[in-house]
Amino acid sequence: MPVNNAAERGLRGIALGRKAWLFCGSDRGGQRAAIMYGLITTAKLNDVDPQAWLADVLARINDIPQTRLHELLPWDWKAIREQTKAA
């Protein structure tokens, strides 16, 4: 049953936030909340600290060329960080 426990723990955040999401303010606010939840979950699934990743992305996104935006995706961001640490 470890799979069920892991799945239940993964969904716990959704269940706890359900009440708060009723107060997003508008449909657009709900869409933004869904996008942010998706980004944070993607970072977690790639073993990336969501807070560090989002802070770095928000600090760098304005200055990075469009051709290099892929470097800000969680999986590429993590690989670049690991290469930088190794060097």
Helices 27-45 and 2-21, packing angle to 10 deg: 150
Find all residues with CB under 8 Å of 12, minimum gap 6, and list them: none
Residue from 61, 63, 36, 62 nearest 77 by CA: 61
Report pLDDT for 62.
Answer: 95
Which residue bears the tokens 């670049």? 80
Residue from 17, 71, 63 nearest 41 by CA: 17
H-run or E-run covering 76: helix 74-86
pLDDT averaged over 10-residue windows placed end to end, the chain, 87 residues: 66 68 74 86 92 95 94 93 85
